[in-house]
Amino acid sequence: MADANGSTVNVFAGKGGVGKTTCSATSAFHFASLGEKTLALSTDATPSLLHIFEASGGGKPVKVNDWLHIREIGVEETKEMWDGKFGREVYEVFSSLVDVEYKDFVEFMTSLLPGLSEEFMVDYIRELSRKGEYRNIVWDTAPLGQTLALLETPAMLGEHLKMAPRIYSRLKVGQKSRQPILDIIKRWENLSAANMDFLRKSVSFSMVTIPEALAVQQLDGVFREMEKYGLKVSRLIINNVVRTEDSEFLCIRADQQKKYIDAIYHKYPHLQIVELPMFPCEVKGLERLKEVERLLFQKMPA
Ligand SMILES: Nc1ncnc2c1ncn2[C@@H]1O[C@H](COP(=O)(O)OP(=O)(O)OP(=O)(O)O)[C@@H](O)[C@H]1O
Ligand SMILES: [Mg+2]
């Protein structure tokens, strides 16, 4: 999915360790190998994209080849985003009341508001997509908890910010000083709405799961949550499927997985479902990614 001339944005969501980063890296590899300029972007606190591509380098972004770039965004950069969009203005209002250094103020705000970093990540990706420098952006997210926090973000921020005028009235701040913060709240609400709209209309979500009890149980809740926010999942990936049954150990594993795999097909008949086998070796390096790409994108062997 993409804005009129913007980038296509793909997100892989799911609980911890199910294979989100592996699928993100594989998709980025896929788009790049079609000759489409692609950015694999990680906003995970413990990113591993560079590791999978066996790439290194301090450049921002890191260039794997002409078509594929990797960028890992950390907390510090999120703070800079907040700083750039609202920091100074909010600080000016606050510093007229409280004696606080600007650096400490930004630190305080970004740690105080949960979801702030996610909000600005979405905002960053929205702008990046709008610029259209990349044909594709593959966004490797943190595990499920954080992904859901991301969905709650706009509502949460709205609630937090609504408190601000009340604090102001308690402090008996005059109408003159109160107006700027109300303007900022309005702008923030607009930003949240635009970001949510972007997630709804321009981002393609794929859900990644594994055929195990807890992972399958959690799927329902996640789909419900996403539906609540009007976010649609286009594809469901069942990862780590045991295909070879040449030992008793694997037979038992495969047998156990079968009931969860059947349950998934039964429950989500409207979704495109792709199964990825459990590989004997870890997915790392371009050669391995090529093999995973063939399976994830259901390409015929060369
Ligand atoms: N199909 C597979 N077969 C074998 N190993 C796999 C498979 N898929 C993923 N792995 C391995 O499992 C580990 C976890 O995968 P990955 O990092 O992609 O999960 P994740 O969902 O991104 O995890 P996190 O929630 O921690 O970010 C990695 O070491 C990866 O190489
Ligand atoms: Mg990951």
Q: What is the pLDDT of residue 141?
A: 79
Output the pLDDT for position 299: 72
Residues of the chain with pLDDT > 70, as a percent, come to 76
Which 8-state DSSP code applies to residue 86?
I
Residues with CB under 5 A from ligand 2 (ion): 20-21
- The ligand 1 atom nearest the CA atom of 52: 31
Per-residue pLDDT, averaged over 104-124, amounts to 72
Of the candidates 288, 269, 252, 273, the one whose C-alpha atom is nearest the C-alpha of residue 53 is 288
Structure tokens at 169: 């009235």
pLDDT confidence of residue 56: 81
Token digits for 161?
């910010």
Nearest atom (ligand 1) to Cα of 144: 25
Asked which of 54-58, 176-180, 203-207 is least confident by mean pLDDT, the reply is 176-180
Q: What is the token pair recorded at 62?
A: 């890191």
Residues flanking ligand 1, CB < 6 Å: 14, 16-22, 44, 48, 143, 239-240, 276, 278-279, 282-283
**Residue 173 per-residue DSSP state:** -
- Predicted confidence at residue 181, as pLDDT, reads 67
- In this predicted structure, the answer to whether residue 139 has a pLDDT above a threshold of 70 is yes
Taking the CA of 215 as reference, the closest ligand is: 1
Query: Quick one: which atom of ligand 1 is closest to the CA of 240?
Result: 1
The contacts of residue 258 (CB under 8 Å, 6+ apart) are: 211
The percent of residues in the chain predicted with pLDDT above 90, rounded, is 42
For residue 160, name the pLDDT band (cuts at 50, 70, 90): low
- Residue 34 alpha carbon to ligand 1 centre in Å: 24
User: Is 60 exceeded by the pLDDT of residue 75?
Assistant: yes
Nearest atom in ligand 1 to the alpha carbon of residue 292 is: 1
Sign of CA dihedral 95, 97, 98, 104: negative
Give me the long-range contacts of 162-168 (CB less than 8 A, separation at least 24): none
Residue range 258-286, pLDDT digits in tens: 999 999 999 999 999 999 999 998 899 99
Quick one: pLDDT at residue 179?
Answer: 61
Name residues whose C-beta falls within 8 Å of residue 34's C-beta, 6 or more positions apart in sequence: none
CA–CA separation, 16 and 8 (whole Å)? 25
Output the residue whose Cα is nearest ligand 1's atom 25. Answer: 16
Residue 13, pLDDT score = 86
Report whether pLDDT(35) > 90: yes
- As a whole number of Å, the end-to-end CA separation of the chain is 28
* Predicted TM-score (pTM) of this structure: 0.85
**141 vs 94, higher pLDDT:** 141
Q: Whose CA is nearest to atom 14 of ligand 1?
A: 17
DSSP type of residue 59: -
Q: Which domains does the chain have, with CATH numbers?
A: 8-79+109-296 (3.40.50.300)
